[in-house]
Amino acid sequence: MSNIKKVLVVGGGIGGQSVAIGLKKGGFAVDVVEILPEFNVYGVGIIQQANALRALDAIGVADEVMRRGSPYGKVKLCLPHGVQIGEAGTPPIGRFPSHNGISRRILHDVLFEEAQKIGLKYRMGVTVASIDNQPNIANVAFTDGTTDSYDIVIAADGVHSKVRKLVFGEFKPNYVGLSVWRYPFKRPAGLDTGYIFFNKKHKIGVIPMTAESCYIFLNSAEGENPMIPEDQLVDKLKGYMSAYPVPVVQELIPQVTDAKLVNYRALETLKMPAPWYKNRVVVLGDAAHTTIPQLGSGAALAIEDAVVLIEELQKEGEVEAIFDRYMKRRYERCMMVVDVSETLGAWELLEYNDNPLPEGANMGMLMGKTGMALTAPI
């Protein structure tokens, strides 16, 4: 094992909790700080493909995630009236199915419960104020006025990462011209797998979360100013959903009643240039590579980052060599996912604006090829 003993994880999201759990189990002293005074995770779903489950298994929580979620096969790609035109997702990997639907809140709960079980402590409402990032130590001042020193600091604090800005400078996310809408529902009796329906102005997915629940996501183009007032969210979402005459969508429309349950956001990407480390600070997850949900792989990448970093920290070597090995295993894979997601998003935007696709563009084929690539070992 390396001579690293004491680790600070900044951010208590999916990537931050994953790396903290794995390091704590590996015998490291781990502190976790989270800027929010209490967790407030929205209750819509997250798509976990087989590679995400494989990564969660490495930190010991895959079985519980599948028990609380809803495993299913590949997602069916369909025209607005329900005619299937293809399928997408990773093939199964060993005992892990193509997909596991789960609420983001439940996934977060599984990770948090595992963290508590192994004695991880979280400092809520606290984040980093400054970092003196030396070659041999990171001296950290926190927003509550305390200070401490760490062998390494892991920045898992999201697309607008404060740690990344303090250590590496400003990297601004790129708005891709698309927005995503999500809403939770009681699961229809006939929902046997995930479905995505395409039309010329938007697309909608109906995705299982648990045996009793599901959610929809809908991608749309809202122009240069994607902000929508809360009192318009329900009517606009219902209007978009009405364009799909299939029963699995139509029966959900009357349930869209509460603007507070509409999770709406403009979609952004961010690609931090290599290397994702400097001296004693290393970056993972959305803080390094924010993607859009066209491949359903954002959280999976963060969990994979965590697993690879855990593995490398348990090997011999100097910090720079460890971080360099982490980069070599993660950079190209993560950039592939962001690049392909951006390509799919750009093609969708062309269609939504009544522009022709590039010659040879095939969304289903590209999604299938990328899904196969994600089954490769990390």
Domain boundary assignment for the chain: 6-70+102-172+270-373, 174-267
CA–CA separation, 374 and 90 (whole Å): 7
Residue 355: is it exposed, middle or buried by C-beta count within 10 angstroms (0-12/13-18/19+)?
A: exposed
Which position has the higher pLDDT, 223 or 267?
Answer: 267
DSSP per-residue codes, 231-266? HHHHHHHHHHHTT--SHHHHTTGGG---GGG-EEEE
CA distances, 10 to each of 67, 130, 146, 269, 339 (Å):
29, 12, 15, 21, 26
Q: What is the DSSP letter of 352?
A: H
pLDDT confidence band for 44 (50 / 70 / 90): confident
Instruction: Give the tens place of pLDDT for each residue, 13-37.
Output: 999 999 999 999 999 999 999 999 9
Instruction: Give the tens place of pLDDT for each residue, 65-75.
Output: 999 999 999 89
Instruction: Give the tens place of pLDDT for each residue, 238-272.
Output: 999 999 999 999 999 999 999 999 999 999 999 99
CA–CA separation, 210 and 315 (whole Å): 38
Q: Do domains 6-70+102-172+270-373 and 174-267 have the same CATH topology?
A: no
Reading the block at residue 243, the tokens are 């364009």
Which position has the higher pLDDT, 282 or 2?
Answer: 282
pLDDT score recorded for residue 1:
63
CA–CA separation, 291 and 200 (whole Å): 23
pLDDT score recorded for residue 245:
96
Give the mean pLDDT of 264-289. 97
Q: What is the DSSP letter of 11?
A: -
The answer to whether residue 273 scores a pLDDT higher than 90 is: yes
Helix then strand count (H, E) for the chain reads 10, 20
Q: What is the fold, at CATH topology level, of the domain defined by 6-70+102-172+270-373? A: FAD/NAD(P)-binding domain (3.50.50)
Task: Determine contact, residues 334/288, Cβ cutoff 8 Å.
Answer: yes
Kindly state the helix (H) or strand (E) to which residue 45 belongs, with its residue range: strand 45-49
Under 8 Å CB-to-CB from 131, ≥6 apart: which residues?
138, 139, 140, 141, 153, 163, 166, 167, 281
CA–CA separation, 338 and 315 (whole Å): 29
CA–CA separation, 47 and 295 (whole Å): 9
Query: Can you state the percent helix, strand and coil of the chain, rounding each to 5?
Result: 35, 30, 35
pLDDT score recorded for residue 241:
97
CA–CA separation, 167 and 149 (whole Å): 16
pLDDT score recorded for residue 329:
98
The residues that bridge with 206 in the sheet, in sequence order, are 195, 216
CA–CA separation, 105 and 117 (whole Å): 18
**Domain spanning 174-267: CATH 1.20.1090.10:** no
CA distances, 128 to each of 9, 138, 325 (Å):
10, 12, 26
pLDDT score recorded for residue 101:
93
Task: Determine contact, residues 267/178, Cβ cutoff 8 Å.
Answer: yes
- Looking at residue 7, its amino acid is V
Residue 165: is it exposed, middle or buried by C-beta count within 10 angstroms (0-12/13-18/19+)?
A: middle
Q: Residue 127 phi/psi, 5° resolution?
A: -145, -170
DSSP per-residue codes, 182-202? EEEEEPPTT--S-EEEE-SSE
pLDDT score recorded for residue 144:
97
